[in-house]
Amino acid sequence: MFNDLSRMGKYLGQAARMLVGMPDYDTYLEHMRSTHPDQPVMSYEAFFRERQDARYGGGKGRPIRCC
């Protein structure tokens, strides 16, 4: 039972972070370790910047969006 509650809390936390646009670095690290162990992992700062650019535009020749 506590395992299910813990898992539910984790998913609710992830959903809340996604709603406000806060990237989940721990999930990224877990994904990289399990799926791409041979590739380098971004620092938190680089990950945050990349997610921000992906969400709001800018960088790589894309126009900056406000919404």
Percentage helix, strand, coil for the chain under 3-state DSSP, each rounded to 5:
65, 5, 35
> Tens of pLDDT along 9-64?
877 877 777 776 666 888 899 999 999 999 999 999 999 888 888 777 766 665 65
Cα–Cα nearest to 42, from 20, 55, 14, 23: 23
Cβ atoms 18, 24 nearer than 8 A: yes
C-alpha span between 53 and 51 (Å, rounded): 5
Contact 64, 57 (CB under 8 A): yes
pTM to 2 decimals? 0.57
20 vs 5, residue with greater confidence: 5
What integer pLDDT is reported at residue 16 of this predicted model?
Answer: 77
